[in-house]
Chains A and B, each alone.
Chain A
Amino acid sequence: MSSARPVNQRAWWFVLPVLISVAFSALVPLMTIVNYSVQDILGPDQAVFVGMEWYREILRDPDLHGALLRQLIFTTAVLAIEIPLGIVLALGIPERGWRASLALVLLAMPLLIPWNVVGTIWQIFARGDIGLLGYVLTQFGIDYNYSQHPTDAWVTVLVMDVWHWTPLVALLSYAALRAIPEPFYQAARIDGASRWAVFRHIELPKMRGVLTIALLLRLMDSFMIYTEPFVLTGGGPGTATTFLSQYLTQKAVGQFDLGPAAAFSLVYFLIILLLCFVLYNFMKDPQ
């Protein structure tokens, strides 16, 4: 007999209902998608097997390349801004007391807002005529219009995402910082370490695990982002802020081209999986 953990057969019975529902809501649709991705669906009952045709088409589609490129730029920008900003915010929150509680509550608020409402808020907020931000900017003589200028649209979408999601990174980092035992800080004081040295040699290494989680979460979510930019810019002007998921939806729902859409969503899924896998291995503690 050789198995590492005691096997409790009864546990499987508890897990079965969950397995069944996951099977229905995820596995079956997934298999359906795989099925669709290798067929050309001409009508409700007419489907022709086309093999890898859709995959080939996707990988050659210039619109897809455009959307993918935009998505990569967006995700990179989001990560580059939100992670450091979140850490800085966490460092600024006091360890205890009413100020800490207040700061945490204020930080958590953007996370509680439904995503389409976030989009709507910023859509109005950034308008030149009735939005506070837009109005103030135009008063300063800045020619700002997010529905007409691609750059403005990009910046607005980015700022919106940063506003929305940085608190998550900040809260996770704050929890990680609180877990560092006091003697480390005391020893660093005695060693005469500067604030930066304390951050670099004590706080950052000890936050590694949590930061990996934060990075992965933001990577996945930002790569799949749909609601907020859609509500804010509709993907425009033109296709300036059309990211991958919006492009997919246009293809599948808008054009009702199920075959290519299915192939595309599988490819999409695999891309995210690959990115996460690479990142996780990179960030993993070598021990």
Chain B
Amino acid sequence: MARIDLEDVGHRYGSADDAWALRPLTMTWNDGGAYALLGPSGCGKTTLLNIISGLIAPTRGKVLFDGRDVTALPPEARNIAQVFQFPVVYDTMTVFDNLAFPLRNRGWSTAKLRQRVEEVADILELRADLGRRARALSADQKQKISLGRGLVRPDVAAVLFDEPLTVIDPHLKWLLRRKLKQIHQQLKLSLLYVTHDQTEALTFADQVVVMSQGEIVQIGTPEQLFETPAHRFVGHFIGSPGMNFLPCEWREGAATIAGVRVETSSRQTPPPGAALSIGVRPEYLELSSTPGPNAVPARVAAIRDQGIQTMVQLEVGTSLAWAKLRDGAAALPSAAAFARLPPARCAVYADERRVP
């Protein structure tokens, strides 16, 4: 088990004139937690992961495992396991030998390691394939082998994942995700998962760290990030599609869109001079044919039936917004002319930040 602390850890590739790939940060990862690092390409998430695993030595700062300074320690001395984007298996060996490899390197006797390997193979549902050559297996099975090599070591404190489901087909992704969650609950390891796919991040993690351009934008539970994104970037990045941001003005102590007063969950007054918008998720935008409180005039620009949901594109003033309807077009009032924003589900954003 490991509690991982990062003290003022930052990294740049190249000289001191280059930009930070990871801006200096300080944070703690709790023992046994499941974390996701979520962000677009180039945001620094893989850099952060590699600093924690020891594959990169940070330009500055210290990394501590359970209070011990491990910054100078290589990965093999850190009790971590890492699963990469594409499966890394030793082609010439059988599945059994692959899983046994880390233990053999530590001098374990064959009798002792057989038991451990079989245990891990059971957890990963690979028991039947132990005798097969590793290269004959499918991509998801190979990823399981990669994961298994990490799990066989009894002293493994944390497992780090670098976009591990990238090469896996959609229905196998489900099975693998479920397996990862089960392992988390069973073995109580710390799991750190890097991804650009928000569904993976939100379903997998207890805490999600959203990153952009080398820095952490927000940390929170999946629910917090979805309901109360602290930053426009988080609102846009999480959710499929992302949050709608409708430009608004502040008049007489409230936000207004096209002259209609909109009650939001924001209690404070936004700073003067800031660019204001109201953020509301497509899942919560309602359509009605009659005016009412919080209902803004809107025109239906497009309707897309996508099988499990219906997407409606609305023109609200000069901007476009999407509404996501679960129950299909039947729920669409035929003469929809108003978009209703539920007060509890929207907030005012001043420049990029949410107004609390």
Contact = CB atoms under 8 A, between A and B. Distances in A.
B356 interface: no
Contact of B84 (A183, A189, A202): A183
A287 interface: yes
Looking at chain B's contact residues, the main secondary structure is mixed
A163 interface: no
A252 B113 CA distance: 66
A205 interface: yes
A189 B78 CA distance: 11
A205 B97 CA distance: 15
A190 B75 contact: yes
A185 B128 CA distance: 28
Contact of B55 (A189, A192, A287): A189
A194 interface: yes
A186 B84 contact: yes
Interface string A42-67: 00000000000000000000000000
A187 B76 contact: no
B91 interface: yes
Contacts of B80: 190
A187 to B, nearest CB: 4
A183 B86 contact: yes
A117 interface: no
B88 A189 contact: no
A191 B93 contact: no
A213 B149 CA distance: 33
Nearest to B106: A192
Contacts of A187: 82, 84, 88, 146, 149
A132 interface: no
Contacts of B53: 190
A201 B100 CA distance: 13
Interface string A169-199: 0000000000001011011011111100100
Contact of A191 (B55, B74, B84, B105): B105
Contact of A192 (B76, B82, B91): B76
B85 interface: yes
Contact of A183 (B74, B85, B106, B135): B85
A191 B80 CA distance: 9
A189 B149 contact: no
Contact of A189 (B75, B92, B101, B146): B75
Contacts of B74: 189
9 contacts: A181-B86, A183-B88, A186-B75, A190-B82, A191-B105, A191-B149, A197-B105, A201-B92, A287-B135
The 4 closest A-B pairs by CB, nearest first: A187-B88, A183-B84, A192-B105, A191-B102
Interface of A: 181, 183-184, 186-187, 189-194, 197, 201-202, 205, 287
Given A191-B102, A192-B76, 18 more contacts: A183-B84, A183-B86, A184-B88, A186-B75, A186-B82, A187-B146, A189-B55, A190-B75, A190-B76, A190-B80, A190-B82, A192-B102, A193-B101, A197-B101, A201-B93, A202-B90, A205-B90, A205-B91
